[in-house]
């Protein structure tokens, strides 16, 4: 069963995603008002407003997708698709609600689906450009983290990315992914345990 695609349109997000805005600080509320203005302007046809929305949200969306799928082409596709979905749904978007959670939900769900499909295809190290040719070298610590992330299940990577890259709380993650909060907490705990163990092993191996 694939992770569910966005199951409620932006105007129907009042219930669950409303809680994502419930913990805003005053600065965040100010940013939210500014973003609501941007969305309104984009809904009225302002290309500058749409470009600003893109500028504000692209890098986080792209990075989130990449950290889940670990494939540059797929990450670019997924992040692009999310913005195109945003454009298609723009007229119905409730600008009182935050844009980022809506966008991130699309990104993360599609990234999970893609990562699951790749697992089903059992790729054996080939990509469209041919065989991997990089010689074996001792990876830097940052690459160790990437390798450690890759060892997680897609769903675990997703919660790590939502929590530690995009800054959502476990409750907010549960709302984004339509999961019980306990499930989110257990996935996060297992993922962090495994990340810590994997990186510690690599450090030991290189020491």
- Give the whole-angstrom CA distance, residue 49 versus residue 40: 9
Q: How far is 32 from 39, CA to CA, in rounded Å?
A: 10
Instruction: Check binding of 18 to other proteins (CB under 8 A).
Output: no
Handedness of CA 152, 155, 156, 160 (dihedral sign): positive
- The tokens describing 180, both together, are 């019980």
Question: Binding string to other proteins for residues 81 to 110, with x set by CB under 8 A, is what?
Answer: x-xxx-xxxx---------------x---x
Is residue 139 within the footprint of other proteins (CB under 8 A)?
Answer: no
63 touches other proteins (CB under 8 A): yes
Q: Which of 143, 137, 175, 135 is nearest to 159 (CA)?
A: 175
E strands, the chain, are 126-127, 130-131
The answer to the question of residue 207 lying near other proteins (CB under 8 A) is no
Tell me if 141 sits within 8 A of 69, measured CB to CB: no
Q: Answer yes or no whether residue 41 interacts with other proteins by CB under 8 A.
A: no
**Measured from the CB of residue 51, what is the shortest distance to other proteins in angstroms?**
7
Enumerate residues 111-130 that contact other proteins by CB under 8 A. 113, 117, 119-124, 126, 128-130
Distances, alpha carbon 80 to alpha carbons 18, 115, 127, 192, 196, in Å: 25, 17, 21, 29, 32
Per CB under 8 A, 194 contacts other proteins: no
Is 151 among the residues that bind other proteins (CB under 8 A)? Answer: no
Contacting positions for other proteins (CB under 8 A): 2, 5-9, 12, 42, 45-47, 50-51, 54, 58-59, 62-63, 66-67, 72-73, 75-77, 79-81, 83-85, 87-90, 106, 110, 113, 117, 119-124, 126, 128-131, 141-142, 145-146, 160-161, 164-165, 167, 192, 195-196, 199
């Amino acid at each position: 069963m694939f992770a569910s695609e966005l199951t409620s349109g932006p105007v129907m997000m009042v219930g669950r995603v409303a809680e994502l805005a419930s913990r805003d600080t005053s600065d965040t509320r100010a940013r939210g008002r500014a973003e609501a203005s941007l969305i309104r302007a984009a809904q009225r046809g302002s290309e500058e407003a749409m470009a600003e929305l893109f500028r504000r949200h692209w890098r986080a969306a792209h990075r989130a997708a990449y950290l889940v799928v670990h494939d540059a082409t797929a990450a670019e596709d997924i992040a692009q698709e999310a913005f195109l979905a945003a454009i298609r749904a723009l007229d119905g978007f409730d600008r009182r609600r935050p844009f980022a959670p809506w966008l991130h939900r699309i990104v993360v769900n599609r990234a999970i689906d893609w990562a699951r499909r790749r697992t089903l295809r059992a790729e054996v190290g080939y990509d469209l450009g041919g065989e991997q040719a990089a010689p074996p070298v001792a990876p830097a610590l940052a690459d160790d983290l990437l390798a450690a992330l890759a060892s997680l299940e897609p769903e675990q990577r997703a919660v790590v990315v939502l929590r530690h890259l995009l800054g959502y709380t476990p409750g907010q993650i549960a709302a984004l992914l339509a999961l019980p909060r306990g499930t989110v907490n257990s996935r996060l705990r297992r993922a962090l345990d495994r990340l810590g163990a994997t990186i510690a092993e690599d450090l030991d191996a290189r020491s």
